[in-house]
Amino acid sequence: MFSFDDYKKNFEEMFSKSPVNLEDFYKSANEYNSKFSKIAFDTFKKNVEVSQAWTKETIGGMDKLVKPQSKPEDYVKVATDFVTEQAQTSPKFMSEFAEIAKKTQLDTIELFMQAGKEAKDEMNKASKKATTPKQTPTAETEISE
């Protein structure tokens, strides 16, 4: 029967003979996770800043809506002015969100491309190492030494 120690020993042996260094893989994965997290966190901060600016501007425009008006027509005019103001400022904030999304997308694609290139280079190194014939001493080399 196969015991846990045998299983562990076989895995250790398998990984020790592997041409891929798992410590480097783990280090690289942590590095990329950190970079992805930074991109996400920076995007989150920028989105919050734009949202806050938009909210402040909207609330600032609502001051006129809550003030008492002398005639019903004045309420209509204030409401129309508020809606017009919002219609004019909304595209500005929407374009800021679009720019944030575009930058995030470009940063993420750049990071994926870098990761792919590095993975390809590592695989090429590993395959060269695995396919390079190991020189074993022959009778001729032993005699000449």
Paired tokens of 1: 């029967």
Residues 6+ apart with CB under 8 A from 93: 50, 53, 54
DSSP class of 13 = H
Residues 6+ apart with CB under 8 A from 67: 78
Backbone torsions φ then ψ of 133, nearest 5 degrees? -65, 135
Would you say residue 27 has pLDDT above 90?
A: no
Q: What is the pLDDT of residues 62-109, one digit of tens each?
A: 988 888 888 889 999 999 999 999 999 999 999 999 999 999 999 999
CA distance 54 to 92: 9
Mean pLDDT, range 51-70, rounded to an integer? 91
Q: What is the pLDDT of residues 120-138, one digit of tens each?
A: 888 888 778 777 776 665 5
Instruction: Give pTM, 2 decimals.
Output: 0.66
pLDDT band of 3, cuts 50, 70, 90: confident
Residues 6+ apart with CB under 8 A from 140: none
Say what the pLDDT of residue 77 is: 92
